[in-house]
Amino acid sequence: MAFIRCPTGFESPPFTMRDALAHNERRKTMSYLNIDAKGCLIKTRFLGPTNYRGARVAATHKWCDSDTKRVVVSWDYALNAQDNHMAAAEALAAVMFDDKGGKISGMGWDHDAYYFLALAVWA
């Protein structure tokens, strides 16, 4: 049996039509992603100081109906960068969930923003 060289460098045997059909049947019976937590994504960005305002963190969340919630929090120099962004995300979560409770359950980042997963705690 000949092996196919994948771009990643791994070798795998060629798939037959029967293998593809069996894979599709297995995929129908299992969930694609096992995600227990689903919530709102909050994006935070650093806003540098200007001549009139100090450094700040802006937290935003865009709702489905194009309504955007936004909170701007002053930079706390006693905290590190991640904690400042977390404080802004928690402030926005309080606005989004009308102070009924919410928690930040996950965090990630890329080259220009932090991202937080906010979950509602309903009474």
pLDDT single digits (tens) 58-89? 999 998 777 899 999 999 999 999 999 999 99
Residue 68, in any domain of the structure:
yes
Provide the strand spans (E) within the chain. Answer: 4-5, 11-12, 40-47, 56-62, 68-74, 102-109, 114-120
Residue 25, in any domain of the structure:
no
pTM over the 0.75 mark: no
Domain span holding position 74: 40-120
**What average pLDDT does the segment 12-38 reach?**
60
Residue 64, in any domain of the structure:
yes
Residue 52, in any domain of the structure:
yes
In this prediction, residue 26 carries a pLDDT of 58
Q: Is the pLDDT of residue 119 over 70?
A: yes
Residue 4, in any domain of the structure:
no
Residue 8, in any domain of the structure:
no
Q: How many domains does the chain have?
A: 1
Residue 17, in any domain of the structure:
no
In this prediction, residue 102 carries a pLDDT of 76
